[in-house]
């Protein structure tokens, strides 16, 4: 069975590193697409299907974190971060950006393509249309639409992003800070009770679909999680 090669977007401003990555990907049968800054990367993502993004944290026009946040608002393309400093790793882990993996520089091309394969295997096993864990939910990231038990939910942007974050990791407890970072453009401006208020309105909308269940679980003193199926 022959398949079209999957397009991997490489966002890296250092030419020598980018060339190494592009060569390694092509050798592995992928179709690399190279962009040197965040703005061009986002334009490429909007223009064509991308299977995975390899994203440098330090870009000339915006940080890789900002690119990732903007990407997640639009859809759920897997991301592997390239990091130059250990402090960046802390941020990737701490900010819950939803990165699928990260590779510290310097790295071997072989190591990177192995990570690419692993992430693609994970994300292909769980098609981008349906979130993992449960069939009660359907997340159509391309249309920014989430359905619960077959009913499309009418969500505000922040509700959509909040629920999207919970859906991405069923069972995982998110702190209010983590949910704010996932769902608000300016998390510093939001308050803990803003998250609580949005969770409340989300629950009300879910109750209309299925009054007998409460799929969002409150963890007192910690935050919220989505109940695993």
User: Using CB under 5 A as the criterion, which residues of the chain lie in contact with Ca ion when the complex forms?
Assistant: 13, 56, 58
In terms of CB distance, is 18 or 195 closer to Ca ion? Answer: 18
In terms of CB distance, is 54 or 202 closer to Ca ion? Answer: 54
Nearest approach, Cβ of 58 to Ca ion (angstroms)?
Answer: 4
In terms of CB distance, is 61 or 228 closer to Ca ion? Answer: 61
Nearest approach, Cβ of 14 to Ca ion (angstroms)?
Answer: 5
Sign of the C-alpha dihedral computed for residues 191, 204, 95 and 21 taken in this order = negative
Name the residue whose CB lies closest to Ca ion. 58
CB 36 within 8 A of CB 13: yes
Residue among 19, 75, 67 nearest 50 (CA)? 75
Query: First vs last Cα of the chain: how many Å apart?
Result: 34
Which uninterrupted H or E stretch holds 197?
helix 192-209
CB 155 within 8 A of CB 205: yes
In terms of CB distance, is 56 or 96 closer to Ca ion? Answer: 56
Nearest approach, Cβ of 23 to Ca ion (angstroms)?
Answer: 18
Nearest approach, Cβ of 56 to Ca ion (angstroms)?
Answer: 4
Nearest approach, Cβ of 62 to Ca ion (angstroms)?
Answer: 12
Cβ-based neighbours of 160, under 8 Å, separated by 6 or more: 144, 146
Nearest approach, Cβ of 13 to Ca ion (angstroms)?
Answer: 5
Residue among 92, 97, 107, 77 nearest 14 (CA)? 107
User: How far is the C-alpha of 146 from the C-alpha of 139, rounded, in Å?
Assistant: 5
CB 165 within 8 A of CB 179: yes
Nearest approach, Cβ of 200 to Ca ion (angstroms)?
Answer: 42
In terms of CB distance, is 56 or 100 closer to Ca ion? Answer: 56
In terms of CB distance, is 58 or 170 closer to Ca ion? Answer: 58
CB 52 within 8 A of CB 119: yes
Structure tokens at 196: 């609580």
Angle between helices 86-95 and 64-74 (to 10 degrees): 30
């Amino acid at each position: 069975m022959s398949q079209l090669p999957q397009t991997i977007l490489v966002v890296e401003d250092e030419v020598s590193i980018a060339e190494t990555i592009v060569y390694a990907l092509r050798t592995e049968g992928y179709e690399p697409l190279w962009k040197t800054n965040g703005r061009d990367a986002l334009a490429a993502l909007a223009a064509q299907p991308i299977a995975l993004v390899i994203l440098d944290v330090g870009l000339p026009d915006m940080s890789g974190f900002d690119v990732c946040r903007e990407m997640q608002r639009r859809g759920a393309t897997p991301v592997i971060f390239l990091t130059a400093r250990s402090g960046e790793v802390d941020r990737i882990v701490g900010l819950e950006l939803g990165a699928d993996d990260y590779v510290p520089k310097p790295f071997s091309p072989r190591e990177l393509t192995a990570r690419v394969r692993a992430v693609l295997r994970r994300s292909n096993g769980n098609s981008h249309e349906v979130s993992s864990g449960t069939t009660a939910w359907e997340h159509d990231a391309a249309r920014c639409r989430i359905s619960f038990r077959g009913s499309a939910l009418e969500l505000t942007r922040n509700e959509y992003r909040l629920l999207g974050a919970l859906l991405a990791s069923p069972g995982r407890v998110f702190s209010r800070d983590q949910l704010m970072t996932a769902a608000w453009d300016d998390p510093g401006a939001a308050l803990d009770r803003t998250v609580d208020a949005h969770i409340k309105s989300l629950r009300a909308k879910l109750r209309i679909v299925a009054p007998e269940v409460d799929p969002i679980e409150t963890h007192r003193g910690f935050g919220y999680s989505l109940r695993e199926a």
